[in-house]
Amino acid sequence: MGAMPKGLRMARCRHYHLFCLSRENGPAPIPAILHEKWI
């Protein structure tokens, strides 16, 4: 995947890559959910 910006996290679930922004307080916003075909 290469280098990701600071504060951006990625998790895999089956065929999906989920990206979220890390936060200390409150829920983490999810800017993208990508299927592995798109990567």
Model confidence at 39: pLDDT above 70: no
pLDDT over 70 at 1, yes or no: no
Do 32 and 19 meet the contact criterion of CB atoms below 8 Å apart? yes
Dihedral in degrees, nearest 10, Cα atoms 21, 2, 17, 32: 40
Q: Do 16 and 36 form a contact (C-beta atoms < 8 A)?
A: yes
pTM for the complete prediction? 0.68
Q: Which residue has the higher pLDDT, 26 or 2?
A: 26
CB neighbours of 33 closer than 8 A, spacing ≥ 6?
16, 17, 18, 19
The more confident residue out of 5 and 11 is 11
